[in-house]
């Protein structure tokens, strides 16, 4: 992956390339590739409850993709891994280069947007709801700007920040 980024972003320094790699090689990105390749269709699962949890898990999708890359490496070697990554990750890299993918997460983007008005920080009030989900509210200067649900505290806060950004951009 580093070689792909180095070749595509010749003008970026090491720190910038590290940030790009961290964003592009993350659970969400790898899961989206696994979904596009329909890799979860190859899993053998027992019960419907377990199947639903596994199939909806982004981490499982990312893990399957990484496992496939490892299997290709063991079976076919590095040249085939590079060929596979060129087909699967290079389109994502190109989308980023064209400005179609944002490197910063929603929480960071919301914080930067709000701090363009004052130096106060966005606060997240997060609690676990009854259905094993977390609910979070993005609060700035005492006002709730967005809310979100998620399977983890982090996911709920990201969704709350994204909700706030969507509302702020519309207004």
pLDDT in tens, 75-100: 999 999 999 999 998 888 888 888 77
Q: What is the pLDDT of residues 20-78, one digit of tens each?
A: 888 788 888 899 899 999 999 888 877 775 677 778 888 999 999 999 999 999 999 99
| Domains within the chain, CATH numbers bracketed | 2-97 (1.10.1520.10), 106-170 (3.30.160.20)
The pLDDT score that the predictor gives to residue 171 is 63
User: Residue 148's beta-bridge partner residues?
Assistant: 136
* Percent over 70 (pLDDT), the chain: 98
* Sign, CA torsion 65/67/71/77: positive
Which of 32, 27, 89, 37 is closest to 63 using CA atoms?
A: 27
CA distances in angstroms from 14 to 19, 32, 102, 155, 160, listed in the order given: 9, 26, 19, 29, 32
Model's pTM, two decimal places?
A: 0.65
> Is 2 or 164 the better-scoring residue by pLDDT?
164
pLDDT level of residue 164 (50, 70, 90 thresholds): very high
Pair of tokens at residue 127: 């609690």
- Closest of 107, 135, 109, 134 to residue 123, by C-alpha: 107
Report whether 30 contacts 15 (CB < 8 A): no
């Amino acid at each position: 992956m580093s070689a792909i980024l180095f070749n595509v972003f010749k003008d970026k320094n090491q720190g910038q390339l590290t940030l790009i790699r961290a964003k592009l090689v993350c659970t969400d990105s790898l899961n989206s590739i696994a979904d596009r390749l329909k890799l979860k269709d190859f899993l053998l699962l027992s019960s419907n409850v377990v199947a639903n949890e596994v199939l909806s898990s982004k981490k499982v999708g990312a893990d399957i993709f990484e496992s496939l890359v490892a299997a290709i490496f063991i079976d076919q070697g590095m040249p085939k891994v590079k060929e596979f990554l060129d087909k699967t990750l290079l389109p994502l890299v190109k989308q980023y280069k064209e400005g179609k993918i944002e490197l910063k997460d929603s929480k960071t983007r919301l914080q930067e947007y709000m701090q363009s008005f004052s130096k106060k920080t966005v606060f997240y009030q997060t609690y676990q709801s009854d259905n094993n989900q977390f609910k979070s509210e993005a609060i700035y200067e005492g006002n709730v700007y967005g809310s979100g649900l998620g399977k983890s505290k982090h996911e709920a806060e990201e969704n709350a920040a994204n909700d706030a950004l969507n509302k702020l951009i519309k207004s």
